[in-house]
Amino acid sequence: MVTRIRRYVETDTGHRVPNHKSKCRHLHGHRYRFEAEIEGNVVSVEGVSDEGMLMDFSDVSHILTEKIHDVVDHAFVVFEGDKQAIAALKMMNDDHRTVIVDFIPTAENLAKWAFEQVEPHIQSVYGNKLRLVAMHVRETPKSTASWIK
Q: What is the pTM of this model?
A: 0.95
95, with CB counted inside 10 A (0-12, 13-18, 19+), is exposed
21-75 residue pLDDT tens: 999 999 999 999 999 999 999 999 999 999 999 999 999 999 999 999 999 999 9
pLDDT value of residue 94: 79
77-89 residue pLDDT tens: 999 999 999 999 9
Q: CATH says 3-148 is which class?
A: alpha beta
